[in-house]
Amino acid sequence: MNEVLNSNFDAVYPRIENAINNAAFIAIDAEMSGIHTERDLKNSLFDTLNDRYTAWKRNIQQFVIVQFGITTFYRVPSKNAYKADSFTFYLFPRSIPLKNRQLSWEVEAMDFLYKHGFDFNKFLVGGISYIDEIDEKLMLDHITQGDIEDCLSLLSYDEEENFKECKSKVCEWISNKSENAPLKLETITPMVQYVLHKDLRNNYNDIWTTSDCKSVYVMKISGNAQDDLSKKNNLEDVLLDFYLGFSKVFKLLSSSKKMIIGHNILLDLMFMHQQFYKPLPDSYKEFKSNIHTLFPQIYDTKFLSFELRKLYSKDEVNWKINSLNILYEYFTTQGRIITYNSPEIIFNEEFSHKKNYHSAGWDSYFCGYIFVKMAHIFCVKKFGTGLEERIASHTELMSSVKDFINSINITRGNEIYMKLDGEDPVLSRPEWLHVKLKSPSLDIKQLMMKFSSYGSMDVMPFARRRVLVAVSNHNTASEILRQFKSSKELQVTRYNRIKHATSMTILLWSGAVLSGGILAWMLKNISKTYINQCIS
Amino acid sequence: MNEVLNSNFDAVYPRIENAINNAAFIAIDAEMSGIHTERDLKNSLFDTLNDRYTAWKRNIQQFVIVQFGITTFYRVPSKNAYKADSFTFYLFPRSIPLKNRQLSWEVEAMDFLYKHGFDFNKFLVGGISYIDEIDEKLMLDHITQGDIEDCLSLLSYDEEENFKECKSKVCEWISNKSENAPLKLETITPMVQYVLHKDLRNNYNDIWTTSDCKSVYVMKISGNAQDDLSKKNNLEDVLLDFYLGFSKVFKLLSSSKKMIIGHNILLDLMFMHQQFYKPLPDSYKEFKSNIHTLFPQIYDTKFLSFELRKLYSKDEVNWKINSLNILYEYFTTQGRIITYNSPEIIFNEEFSHKKNYHSAGWDSYFCGYIFVKMAHIFCVKKFGTGLEERIASHTELMSSVKDFINSINITRGNEIYMKLDGEDPVLSRPEWLHVKLKSPSLDIKQLMMKFSSYGSMDVMPFARRRVLVAVSNHNTASEILRQFKSSKELQVTRYNRIKHATSMTILLWSGAVLSGGILAWMLKNISKTYINQCIS
């Protein structure tokens, strides 16, 4: 693992650039500071994709990605192998002029990340800056259009003190005619460096300034040399570059137009949009379109794993949960049988090999790994078992998953997925049951307990002592109808919109479907937030 | 310094209790995760105390105290000395059932704390829990009134898994009749411990359960012994105790009714109210009354230092800023002369002596230190210089500052302070000047620059090319009037409400005074947030 921090970002950047440009595909993963603003946010079988987008947008907007993982996979020529280069970036919302930046944490997310090796001191000291495109434009305008006075007004108190101190050193140094050695000035931020360069070059014709990470150097030069030197580097670019930080990598990822692989990637994409591109739009369609423009080829390994599952019996593929770590464990143990002769993944030997789930870099590696293994399986299905004796080309592998491109997994989506480059699949509504609670002692919680063994479901209040139950498929519905046919406590029938509706219930119904608020309120006492489910 | 974390809280608690109960007075300090929600929040000379309270309440409500410092000062009998016991508590909003806790940071506050030695990993792992009285009641009701099923429904996914695993171990252990050694069960949270105790004792008559920090122990006992054992400890109290954590210390502080000393203590009090007591009320009066009930005797050393200043010429007392560190440095160096024969402060020798500004424990120590030194000076003024030859009693010292009790410093308050136990002093309105900008090239920013050398001021738009300027005192006003008497760029007169008002301006005026919004908007380009000013 290549850990990228403020201190080595500039040095590692060319290598990242190179890895992205040469990659056959790129896997990503993000760790967030939180995802739930509302305690009772729950994915429901009643949700439409639009509902889901709106709810998540509302819930995540105050949180940020604190660690980003990128693993590039390079196809090794004439070998049945990909070479993986992994990078873990710690990201920190560095102070920028014009804005009072804040950072919200969900306490459970802090506990979770800490448990998985996240170092909060490293995050704070070493985290790389980023800004979205809106702030980038704002800063650029301010820096390029403003005069030196405007820039001075952007300095914090500490920065201003630092600037003044440096200036008075320069005055003294210049007045000492016999002093010819360059003067070194300690600077506390890139903004102070920028203002110092600008101010000194403006005010003195016979000096030149250069800088490194922490210092500005001032040297005496002869009369006209400044004009020539000025052309060679652009102070504005240097300053902006610092604030951009990781956003430069995001731009690289996007402009490369390479295949992007993620596991359960929807939240990652939403966070990337709001953090490096621009605030999430209100319109779900616009979100899809923006993401598709930024990353035209996306694969979601969670979605792929559901598709793969369909090819096998439960005995053949025996993972119960398709979380990233379970899938990786599977493909590195029993799964080796069904991925016989699949490409080998060679982890770059220069990097540390200590694997760690829920570290963003490693998760991106695991994600790319299982992508290759699953692609191989689809490839065998497509081109026949002969592949077990020859090497499948990268093109063959990719053509085998082509059908699943830009299809994004939706948690508890009831066979629904998000199609980024077109219309979402038509919502095959879940089976809805109309349940009348006959026994006065029966409440909704007890009802859900009674039904829970038949499969996943959601309940929505409908009318007095009547509820609608959404179950994920036809079998579950039939089974419940059969079991409770002669129940004295409750009456279950298939829901019929016309037969069951009244003016009252239609009103309630449309409100509940749109907002989900009533549902959330009702589920309050039985819902459990389990952050891992959503972060993984 | 005695650093108190989760791991040693229970062990250190009796010592804290003892120190508080024996203290002559107690100094406190808090470090916060942030204080500005609005970038442009600015204390203005136009503010009333009510305005100030409302603005701060709005700005701080999402932030928390992350470190709390307490130093108790014990008067050493028959010695001219106080003994100081200092404690630094790291506080962390631990996950509690029924609530999704969040934590917001101002990025500048994180930088600031880190720079002053705050350890974020320690904060996360070692931070002590706390809950306010509202949540305490909510939890108590839920725990005591709910049955075991209710408690089970409060468990997170991880906790539930832990509980199930423990239970199955117990079943196996019980069925093994020949096994008589106690069974040790690893538990991940106090909530799992509680539910396990409760569930096992309910379901089995012939076992007993005990626990330590991380484990529950189950042992086989004879038939009726359980009844006797049950009376001896209350599981509910143990559980609640964990969640209460530092709130127990807050309760101790309050119930002791001892003198509380803080430096610029208003924000500390507001945070303490919202974090350990209950959310801040909308009513400023209610806030004052609540604080006075919780802590009937408060001294603000910043307020005292302003009062002390009045006793001396600028040469005698030469600190420019009365921040905590400057005052402490002063009283430990030059200030020794004017505090001759003042009580010695003996720092508890068992604690680490490595001083650190902006660590809450140390800041509370510095605060108590300067309190004693200032009290001595007031005492000499009151009882005469004879005190330089004898020891002033604690009672004499305290009687000398009695006039300043419950008077709280207001930053940029223009001679105004907050009186917690009575009516605030009548607002001696600052001098207001009416300024007409005659030169078309002159803008408000330039105007403020022109006036800035005469003293502190705030500007408010009044009508087209007319502004009101609030200056802190009469001298400043006179000086400005004199200097700009024959200016061609602007016309300055004393503001006269009747002479200058028009229907338009009255409207604008009342709006601006009430909201401060226009002012904030206008000051945007010249304001600078400097977190240290407010946190210190």
Q: How far apart are CA B467 and CA B448, in angstroms?
A: 11
Kindly identify which residue of chain A lies nearest to residue B533, measuring between CA atoms.
A157
ipTM of this complex: 0.71
Reported as a pLDDT band with limits 50, 70 and 90, residue A503 is very low
Query: CA A439 from chain center: how many Å?
Result: 47
Instruction: Please tell me the distance in Å from A341's CA to the nearest CA on chain B.
Output: 38
Q: Which residue has the tokens 């994409």?
A: A269
Asked if A103 has any chain B CB less than 8 Å from its own CB, the reply is: yes
pLDDT score, position B504: 43
pLDDT at A533 over 50: no
Reported as a pLDDT band with limits 50, 70 and 90, residue A223 is low
Buried b (16+ CB within 10 A) or exposed e, B323-342: bbbebbebbeeebeebbeeb
Asked if A6 has any chain B CB less than 8 Å from its own CB, the reply is: no
Interface test with chain A among B63, B92, B102, by most A beta carbons within 10 Å: B102
Q: Do B101 and A107 touch (CB under 8 A)?
A: yes
pLDDT score, position B374: 96
pLDDT at A408 over 80: yes
pLDDT score, position B529: 31
| More confident position, A318 or B510 | A318
pLDDT (mean) for A173-201: 88
Q: How far apart are CA A204 and CA A225, in angstroms?
A: 12
Q: Which two tokens stand for residue A281?
A: 């739009």
Q: Do A114 and B121 touch (CB under 8 A)?
A: yes
| More confident position, A277 or A456 | A277
Q: Which two tokens stand for residue B504?
A: 């338009």
Residues of A with Cβ-Cβ distance to B94 under 8 angstroms: 107
pLDDT tens per residue, range B417-458: 899 999 988 766 567 788 888 887 777 778 877 887 777 777
Q: Do A529 and B94 touch (CB under 8 A)?
A: no
Instruction: Please tell me the distance in Å from B129's CA to the nearest CA on chain A.
Output: 12
Asked if A312 has any chain B CB less than 8 Å from its own CB, the reply is: no
Q: How far apart are CA B256 and CA B25, in angstroms?
A: 10
Phi, psi at residue A48, to the nearest 5°?
Answer: -90, 170
CA distances from A498 to A491, A495, B506 (A): 18, 9, 61
pLDDT at A529 over 70: no
Asked if A243 has any chain B CB less than 8 Å from its own CB, the reply is: no
pLDDT tens per residue, range A356-365: 888 999 999 9
Residues of A with Cβ-Cβ distance to B142 under 8 angstroms: none
Kindly identify which residue of chain B lies nearest to residue A121, measuring between CA atoms.
B120
Q: Do A107 and B111 touch (CB under 8 A)?
A: no
Those residues of chain B that have pLDDT short of 50 are 503-536
CA distances from A129 to A94, A125, A134, A203, B418 (A): 5, 11, 15, 31, 41
pLDDT at A282 over 90: yes
Asked if B121 has any chain A CB less than 8 Å from its own CB, the reply is: yes
| 145-164 in chain B: CB under 8 A from chain A | 153, 155-158, 160
**Range of weakest confidence among A8-12, A457-461, B165-169, B387-391:** A457-461
pLDDT score, position A412: 67
Q: Which two tokens stand for residue B228?
A: 């006797």
Q: Do B528 and A157 touch (CB under 8 A)?
A: yes
Asked if B421 has any chain A CB less than 8 Å from its own CB, the reply is: no
Using the 8-state DSSP alphabet, how is residue A259 labeled? -
Q: How far apart are CA B480 and CA B467, in angstroms?
A: 15
pLDDT (mean) for A252-265: 97
The DSSP annotation for B100-141 comes to: --EEEEEHHHHHHHHHTT--HHHHHHHPBPB--HHHHHHHHH
Kindly identify which residue of chain B lies nearest to residue A92, measuring between CA atoms.
B107
pLDDT tens per residue, range A362-395: 999 999 999 999 999 999 998 887 777 888 999 9
Asked if A390 has any chain B CB less than 8 Å from its own CB, the reply is: no
Q: How far apart are CA A414 and CA A54, in angstroms?
A: 18
pLDDT score, position A521: 34
Give me chain A's average pLDDT, please: 84
pLDDT score, position A140: 85
Kindly identify which residue of chain B lies nearest to residue A110, measuring between CA atoms.
B124
Q: How far apart are CA A184 and CA A219, in angstroms?
A: 9
Cβ neighbours for A470, distance < 8 A, ≥ 6 positions apart:
A44, A45, A46, A414, A430, A431, A432, A457, A458, A459, A460
Pick B36's closest partner by Cβ from A100, A153, A155.
Answer: A100
Q: Do B107 and A93 touch (CB under 8 A)?
A: yes
